[in-house]
Amino acid sequence: MDSTKDLIIVGGGPAGYSAALYAARASLDVLVVEHGMAGGQIATSDIIDNYPGLGSCSGAELGQKMQEHAEHAGAQSTYGSVSSIDRKDDMFIVNTDMEQLEAPALIVATGATPRLGGFVGEDEFRGRGVSYCATCDGMFYRGKHVFIIGGGNSAVEEAMYLSNIAEHVELVVRRDVFRAPRGMVERLLTRDNITIRYQTSIIEVSGSTFINRIVLRDNATGETHAEMFDEGSVGIFVAVGHDPATQIVAPYVDLGSDGGVVTDESMATKTPGLFCAGDMRSKSLRQVITAAADGAIAAMSAYAYLEESGRI
């Protein structure tokens, strides 16, 4: 495989493969570099229920289809973990653990990792009562009881969202105050089905197929107690933020207050020829559909950049 391309895309999630599809259809010689499974984060999700036109679909299947679609259009994929990016004579040098690649335009779509709640049983019950995204999984808790962990903007937003779906929402706030602005918290307090547990942490969950026992700690006294639920009737949404994967682009971009990369509407960064797309951007809604849209825009912006700079 030729190591020089028109466009290199780092990350094979929804943003990366949407970008690859649009770039390949525009006749660019495009390569996706991915160090995990095609589909990125959705590859770990049993059901994607909110991508228009698909109905319910397994995340792994959707990821695979996105890769196949882009490759059918002419994109190439390679396995590799990108460790750093250099600039040389207006080219981007992409260093992976396998090879060195180069291109005049680069789209980075490396995603973001939801921060963990840090309680016992969290990993075991992920997708079986533990969630990191109300927009993704809220519908599964219609008429049920949900706990939300967090005291910042995203926790308050998720509580408001879930209060329209769940029967009862309990917001578990580690400290005795919210980090979210007062106005947001005041709106939250107007909802009858939301209660707040200040100075409280969830420290353990257990159950069999789904969660049926939650252990809470009073952070003021250190006392703990367990609460029991019918299996499948309760969920925990961890809403303590995301860590955007920005390390490899850090020298070339500005970061927003959420740690994501700042781009303009064309997905351009402050470095000409470098575009960022998907969850790694500074943005409010991290979903498959927004990542895919970012990817499409980034690809067409990269195409325009290459054309205007006489590279294609």
Ligand X SMILES: Cc1cc2nc3c(=O)[nH]c(=O)nc-3n(C[C@H](O)[C@H](O)[C@H](O)COP(=O)(O)OP(=O)(O)OC[C@H]3O[C@@H](n4cnc5c(N)ncnc54)[C@H](O)[C@@H]3O)c2cc1C
Residue ranges binding ligand X (CB under 6 A)? 10-16, 33-36, 40-42, 44-45, 48-50, 81-82, 109-111, 114, 132-133, 136, 245, 248, 278-279, 286-289, 291
Q: Indicate which residue of 6, 137, 279, 294 is catalytic.
A: 137
**C-beta of 171 vs 291, nearer to ligand X:** 291
**Rounded distance between C-alpha atoms, residue 43 and residue 39, angstroms:** 5
Name the β-bridge partners of 218. 200
Residue 137 appears among annotated catalytic residues: yes
**Rounded distance between C-alpha atoms, residue 4 and residue 244, angstroms:** 28
Q: Indicate which residue of 49, 97, 133, 279 is catalytic.
A: 133
To ligand X, the closest distance from the beta carbon of 12 in angstroms equals 5
Name the β-bridge partners of 146. 169, 235
**C-beta of 64 vs 199, nearer to ligand X:** 64
Residue 57 appears among annotated catalytic residues: no
To ligand X, the closest distance from the beta carbon of 149 in angstroms equals 16
**Rounded distance between C-alpha atoms, residue 284 and residue 239, angstroms:** 13
**C-beta of 123 vs 192, nearer to ligand X:** 123
Of 280, 245, 300, the residue nearest 21 (C-alpha):
300
Name the β-bridge partners of 281. 261
To ligand X, the closest distance from the beta carbon of 278 in angstroms equals 2
Q: Indicate which residue of 136, 276, 279, 294 is catalytic.
A: 136
Tokens 């992920």 appear where?
Answer: 126
**C-beta of 81 vs 193, nearer to ligand X:** 81
Burial label for 165, CB within 10 Å (0-12, 13-18, 19+), is: middle
Residue 136 appears among annotated catalytic residues: yes
To ligand X, the closest distance from the beta carbon of 296 in angstroms equals 12
**C-beta of 111 vs 151, nearer to ligand X:** 111
Of 23, 28, 33, the residue nearest 5 (C-alpha):
28
Of 308, 309, 241, 246, the residue nearest 277 (C-alpha):
246
Burial label for 65, CB within 10 Å (0-12, 13-18, 19+), is: middle
**C-beta of 13 vs 117, nearer to ligand X:** 13
Return all residues near 189 (Cβ < 8 A) that are at least 6 apart: 196
To ligand X, the closest distance from the beta carbon of 295 in angstroms equals 7
> Active-site residue numbers?
133, 136-137
